[in-house]
Structure 1
Amino acid sequence: MPEETPKPEANNPEKEDASRQQRRQVARWTQEFLRWMPLGGSGGVFASFLLQQQWAQAVIMLPVTAIAGVWAAYSKNFVEQLQDIYADRAKQDAKNLVSWMDSLNEALKWQFSGFDAKYLKVQSSACVDYYGDDFKQQQGFMSPTLSQVYVPLMLDPSSLSLHQRSPSNRKLEEAQTEGCQIWDFLAQVRQVPAYQFIAIVADGGFGKTTLLRHITYTYAQGRYRRYRAPKFRPVLLYLRKWRDKIAEEKLSLPELIRLHIHDLSKAKPLPVPPLWAESLLERGEALILLDGFDEVADAQRPAVARWINTQVTTYGKARFLLSSRQGGFEAYQKLVDEAPDTSTKMPTTLTVREFTRQQRADFLKPWYLCQQQHTTQRKTSDVAQTAAQRASDLLAQIEQQPDLQRLAGNPLMLNLIAWVHWYAPGDQLPRERGKLYQTICDLQLGARPTAKRVVMLLDSAQERQQVLQGLALTMVQQEAVQLEKAETLKALKPHLEAVDDAASPAQFLKDATNISELLYEPDPKEYAFSHLSFRNYFAALEMQRLEHQQTGQEGQLFDQWRNDKWRETILLYSALLKPKPLEAFVRQGCQLGEDAVALAYRCFQLYPHPEKLPTGAEAFAAELRPLRYQQLETYLQNQQWRDADVETYRMMIQTINKEFGWFSAEDLQTFPCLDLLILDDLWLKYSKDESGTSKFGFSVQKQIWIECGSPTEYDDNWKKFGDRVGWRKDNLWLKFPDLTFNLKKSPKGEFPVWGDDVGVGSGGVVFSLSSIAQRLVECKR
């Protein structure tokens, strides 16, 4: 039987009219949408769904189609249509969407334009030379590149606590003697949270800035892979350059990065893509290198310290390196610790070790080769042989003279020694820091211009130096690292008039910059001394000259005794004094208060002629010793255990003639018995409990150490010791702030730990405590 054809449904006029009206309404919407929608696949699919009244599919396709429409820049009609439907709220939303899409469009455009590569190229170009903006290479010498002469600095890992170490990085545990490189830490920067923020701390001339430039250059050149370090985009920011912007304008880090790139690319402007800096920071691909917190003016330090802390905590995925001299870094720690902000991030602190014999050779040999090739304009084997011979001659002189060895441990001093030796290879090399500076000044202001038959303003090198001394003291008084040209000329004028009232300040400035090169332009129309240490040396000389003219000028030094920016000038000034005035100077410094004794004692330690002191070196040291321990005794009397612990470390490190860092095996094996016993006796005296038993002190710890098997390495016996003295809890090592600090509640032997930066339970403490325990056996009461 044939199938029946289905009969059409009877017409329903009302239903047909409603359906027709819906189709017409949809057609109007579709036509209106097509007016501003780009013709394309997504628009056609969306229209098809609408016409077929497939609402769910149409809703799904709507965002895709809308984005495609916005991407095609039909924003005006889009905003108008949204306004018709959603009124004012929709209009604002659409504007925001258009703005976001425009930014995304720009970002993608720059992504494909190779902006990253262009940025890395300009950042790399700023770091090619070995001598950066903080140091002026003298005319007549070749300025080598970083790649030619850079010697890796060795950093001290001994003080790192366990939470600052990676279990996989055994090199840190094995490096108590020779130290580590910064790449040992950067290689673990994603595994160890404490490495998100690292501070590099050292005295002037130890190569902190050069280290940051080396890191920047290595990353910009893509050579970080050889160190097994993760990929980052480096951003090197000199705080002396940007401190005003940070303190006064309160720029965000992305804004500062954009200014930095603009400054780098002045010759050929490099526009920064929208959101590029923000994206870099938020994705954790930025390595921010902040150089020279110590060069930030005192008035600006609180704002800059808070700003740094804010950036570190805000951009938790980015990585930060901060460099500073010790005094500046101590100020940073204090400012951040006292800030009202609830979120603070203290850096992992690494100190720079002195150059070893091998490092000195690794620098001098290529440095001499560069100079010899530059002088002869040849790269032949005989030139290389001559350079090697001259380098060997200088190295031999350094090794034969202990005073010269100590100077050459500082990379800047080694540079200056090399200059002097190159220019006058047969002359006796200076063995004192001040004399080395003076030799350089004599060469630059007198001998070299004369040899070249170059005429300079003023009749003699001494007169030229006196003017520079006056400028230097003015800059120290203003705490200025560099001055604008108008300020420099104003500062020069009175000192120049005192020598020759007809001399032109502008001409003198030109000579000092282009001929003697003791001044230079770190930025256009701004002037600074070729190194900060030269400024401080000249300022010390001027203070000495003024003191000779009118007694009482030293008062200015005592007024600034606690100002870390004056510290180097004070030390250099004290080294210039005759023996008897030096004793008086040190005694007066001690009278400024318990916290002032440390610097006074340091003046005595660094005095180049202790054998000439009227009192005698040993007798004078014995006179100062009780004064040195006053601050510690005050802390112990008041049961300020944390402050007392930090002060104990400071006293010990100063006793071995250092200002910071950690202890070598030799340091502790030869630690003066008298000082060790004084420290121990003070802790024993002021830590007695109700029964009269001392709870703290080295000898208390020694007895517990013996009872735990006398551990000399990190093992179960050391963990047992940690449990006994309260450094471990629930099988975890405590951080220093988490200790008890309470005489009644603290376990026996909890202190001393040797300071906040030491790291409870670290390998360095194992080694140090065992060495001290053994030294106590040798030191008889």
Structure 2
Amino acid sequence: MPEPERKIPKFQRFLVQWMPFGCAAGLTLHSVLASNLLPAVFLAFGTGLTSLWVVYSQAFMKEVEREVEKLGEQHARLLIGLLKVLRRTIINQTISVLPLPYTPKARYCKHLQYSYRGLTIEGIHLNKPRALQDVFVEVYLSPRDRVDHVPTGLLRQRYDDKPQNNIGYYLAQMPKSWQSQRLAILGAPGSGKTTLMRYVALMYALRIPYRLHPKAPQYLPVLLYLRDICKEILQNPNVKLTTIVTQWANNLLETKPLNLPEGWFADQLGRNQCLVMLDGLDEVANAGDRQAVSCWVDRQMNNYPDTSFILTSRPLGYQEAQLRTAIQVLEIQSLTKEQIEQFVWNWFDVTESKRHDTEDDVIAHEEAHQQAKGLLAEVEKQPNLSELVSNPLLLTLTAKTYHKKQGIPLRKVKLYRTICQVMLDDLPQWKGRSCLSYQEKLSILQPFALSLMRRGTRSFTLEEAEPVFTEHLGKLHDAPTTMEFLTQLQAVDALIAKEREGDYEFAHLSFQEYLAALELKDTNQQQDLLAALHAKGKLAWWAETMRFYATLQADITPLIEAILQEWDTAQQFNLEKSLFGLDLCQEGSVEKKVREDFLCAPLKGLNLESHEIVSKLQPHNYFKLAHYLQTEQWKVADIETFYVMGQIMEGWSIESLKEFPGVYLRMIDQLWLKHSQGRFGFSVQKQIWVEVGGKLDYGADVEAADKAYEKLLQELKWNEKIRPINPPRLDVDAHLPVGRGWGKVAKNRGVWLGALLSHSSL
């Protein structure tokens, strides 16, 4: 086999092989001639070693040649790739900056910019327009092998194990193969299908498709709403795509018609320059009409086999009228936590800038920061809310209805009222597919939701729903059948989801709870809630319904009285119901005396003014502490004491401990004394501290304070790691009231203990 051609020149190879030997031999000869015998001996030995390099280097150089060749190829590919990116960036930026000649294409793109630059949401009125570019957050798309594998519900589980890419990735794939030129994007109601298509059209109209993807091809965007053109298609099934597109483009702005040259769009489509986006197959109301429109779309795809098409639809609408053309099905995924946060920050930044009528106002950005921070914190705290905002429509409604200065319960009820109004009334009317009015739908759904709550279930079958639906539909004029109404709720209103064949449920349990609360309020039925308070294990199921009811109802005094009565009967209060009662008091209206009796109940028997405590301290703090002490959970009570004190002081320091509010310190001390029969508490510790010679205030004498503390440990034989709250003779393993954090707040524990026990309130 012939030796491969050498890449390193012969002269360089010769130098690498013989230069070490030549240099070593020359130095040896020089040392001999200079009579430096000892260096000459060492250099002679080195010269002998370099002679081995001559033989070794032959194989070495061959391997170096191979590796250098590989490295050179890699670097060349990297350099070429960087040059391509640079070239593409320069071209994209130049195209986006340089003005287009005043051609039909330029006029068309300008009309598209006017039409799609603002954020519009179906069925929702936005007080102030928002720029789509400033608010838009790209959603992820995942491929699906079968249409019936795409979930149909308003809220659905994310599939993080599936490939996820944005729309730009799929646009970049379109020129590579014909299979990538046909996309069907399916998504739940409010998942952002139309907004996504408008954003794609806007990026192409602005000549900045590289924002979608660095390799996005250059297209002329065409966005047709199928609900607007279906009438013409149904009247003339053979109408050409060029005819519809030309009519649509000329009417983009009625006050400024485009008046494109005849045959201009036919030429663009013929040269495969267009990206045709057909939005909302599901919005064609009648199933038969939908199938006819689907057949028309099939014909257009066959007529223009090299043109790129994107069709959008809800899953149910597409299942009933699937395209026959081979098409890649993509599902819009729910929003991730990061996408939700990005949208919220974008939304409030734009909103406050609009309100302050400036983009660079510091106050506007600060207001936006506070609003976004508040909403995200609330979403984090409420599991139901965090599930809802994974849907772009519901996230937009949440951001729209949120106001930082309004109480959380009112915001929550306002949000659900807005969601139901939009889903049951605004969207169906906007689509022209409303079979009943909003109030008529509520008159059916409210009692049905309450019946599901009473049964303790979310799911139902058609047979189970039929008696309730038939009863209420029978009272309405020209009402649909039960099946038609259920189909409307599922396919159009999206408030009902079909989980399995024959099984239905509300799109989210909180919708069921809200509607049930509305029914309880309208019919003044508190007995269900009172029964849930007393029945074991039912409170968790009814809790959210009660919270909605508390905010909706004028007076929830009977519910609080029921909790008080249970305390009196059991001679102790249940922590779960106590904290739940606090929530109800905060969310609803309660008679003044009953509210005060409830808030003061944990402090009964204490030698202090309870109402003074109630007016100054957060009830959650002393409710938990009183419960742990009453049930003799000393360690947990000790941890809670440390937590409560830290909250009141807003951080631990000697100064804040000395200035600790006396009314709170007396409350904590007396709670410990009461429930421990006088064994535990700060006043007990103070007495022991003085008995062993400790001072109440050592000031700056840290060394003396530490010695006193050590003496206390030795005298009482406290475990250094545990530090019990009381002397060991009481044989209770508990901490000091600040024991859990004692080692964290300071090393000088004697100073801290002296500062605490020297408080004038003890």
**Structure with greater Cα Rg:** 2
Per the TM superposition, whether the score is higher than 0.5 is: no
Q: TM-score range by the shorter chain?
A: 0.3 to 0.5
Taking structure 1 as the reference length, the TM-score comes to 0.44
